[in-house]
């Protein structure tokens, strides 16, 4: 049970949602946007979050869109992970979503909820970082479209009151050869010690991580190490792992040293998998 009262709204349009947020915020109601609600409700029950109003976005068509527009595939922020998995539009995103929580929770967790989560892992961002996805949001100035690399810095940086509407991924990128590895401490369904997602795009290996640092990331500069033909795969993996020594987290789940070990072996394995699959790649 949530130990406080709040008012529930379900707007039909983006404009109505943004106006509601502005009005409620001005009235001191501390409004929150609501998608699947799994994290929001659990945080409210444990006393880690308080709000006076909830704005449910699932009644807004753009937020539940699963469509194609020109060369892009569009994923509405209020789509559940289960709906994305069933869509067969973006295999790497489907694979990543399929390893987040269990099937019951995948029917509740939304794409936007995972991307905007207070939990540090936010694994659904990895395929979007790799494919240079577009991020569509709506605020007081209407719709905005940005590259994910513009609005992502450890997390999605949207202005207060601006709501995430959709992400857009090129069809070509969505169908690129991909690799996915998730390492957990105990169970298949658990927070990751390390999740690595990778694609081959424009003849190069791109790779992004969750669990390694206290935030998900892709380091475009470090990816050049993977293409250095002067070194065999194990050495490249070792140099790549060393590049992240300053960001690898050390906590009660696993030491930084152990995570570095997993990182090195995972990257070496992905390089070997690319070679075995005979995919054209400068790596």
| Residues 169 and 183 placed together within one structural domain of the fold | no
| Residues 142 and 197 placed together within one structural domain of the fold | no
Place of tokens 């694609």: 199
Q: Is the pLDDT of residue 41 over 80?
A: no
| Residues 30 and 67 placed together within one structural domain of the fold | no
Q: Is the pLDDT of residue 38 over 90?
A: no
Span 2-22, pLDDT tens digits: 888 889 999 999 999 999 999
**Helix (H) or strand (E) segment spanning residue 106:** helix 103-106
The whole domain housing 215 covers: 178-277
| Residues 82 and 146 placed together within one structural domain of the fold | yes
Neighbours of 213 (CB within 10 A): 17
Structural domain count, the chain? 3
Average pLDDT, integer, range 145-173: 97
- Closest by CA to 194, choosing from 155, 244, 231, is 244
| Residues 129 and 28 placed together within one structural domain of the fold | no
Widest distance between CA atoms in the chain: 63
Contacts of residue 204, defined as CB under 8 A and 6 or more positions apart, other chains included, come to 223, 227, 281, 282, 283
Which residue, 121, 154, 174, sits at the end of a domain?
Answer: 174
Q: Is residue 1 part of a domain?
A: no
Q: Is residue 282 part of a domain?
A: no
| Residues 68 and 170 placed together within one structural domain of the fold | yes
Span 57-85, pLDDT tens digits: 999 999 999 999 999 999 999 999 999 99
Q: Is residue 115 part of a domain?
A: yes
Task: Please provide the distance, in angstroms rounded to a whole number, between the alpha carbons at the two ends of the chain.
Answer: 53
Q: Is residue 257 part of a domain?
A: yes
Query: What pLDDT is recorded for position 282?
Result: 77
Query: If pLDDT is split at 50, 70 and 90, which confidence band does 131 have?
Result: very high
pTM listed for this prediction: 0.96
Distances (CA, A) of 74 to 64, 66, 92, 217: 10, 6, 15, 22
């Amino acid at each position: 049970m949530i130990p406080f009262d709040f008012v529930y709204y379900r707007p039909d349009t983006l404009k109505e949602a943004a106006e509601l947020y502005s009005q409620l915020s001005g009235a001191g109601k501390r409004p929150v946007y609501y998608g699947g609600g799994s994290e929001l409700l659990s945080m409210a029950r444990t006393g880690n979050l308080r709000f006076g109003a909830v704005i449910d976005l699932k009644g807004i068509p753009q937020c539940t869109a699963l469509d194609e527009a020109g060369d892009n595939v569009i994923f509405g922020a209020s789509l559940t992970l289960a709906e994305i998995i069933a869509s067969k539009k973006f295999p790497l995103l489907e694979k990543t979503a399929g390893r987040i929580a269990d099937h019951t929770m995948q029917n509740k967790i939304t794409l936007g909820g995972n991307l905007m989560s207070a939990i540090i892992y936010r694994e659904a961002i990895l395929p979007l970082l790799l494919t240079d996805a577009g991020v569509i949001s709506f605020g007081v100035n209407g719709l905005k479209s940005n590259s994910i690399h513009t609005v992502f810095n450890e997390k999605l940086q949207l202005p207060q009151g601006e709501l995430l509407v959709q992400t857009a991924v090129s069809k070509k990128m969505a169908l690129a050869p991909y690799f996915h590895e998730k390492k957990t401490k105990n169970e298949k369904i658990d927070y990751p010690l390390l999740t690595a997602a990778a694609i081959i795009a424009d003849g190069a290996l791109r790779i992004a991580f969750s669990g390694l640092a206290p935030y998900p990331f892709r380091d475009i500069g470090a990816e050049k190490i993977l293409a250095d033909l002067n070194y065999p795969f194990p050495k490249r993996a070792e140099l790549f792992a060393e590049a992240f020594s300053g960001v690898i987290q050390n906590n009660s789940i696993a030491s930084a040293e152990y995570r570095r070990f997993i990182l090195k072996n995972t990257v070496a394995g992905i390089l070997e998998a690319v070679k075995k699959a005979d995919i054209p790649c400068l790596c």
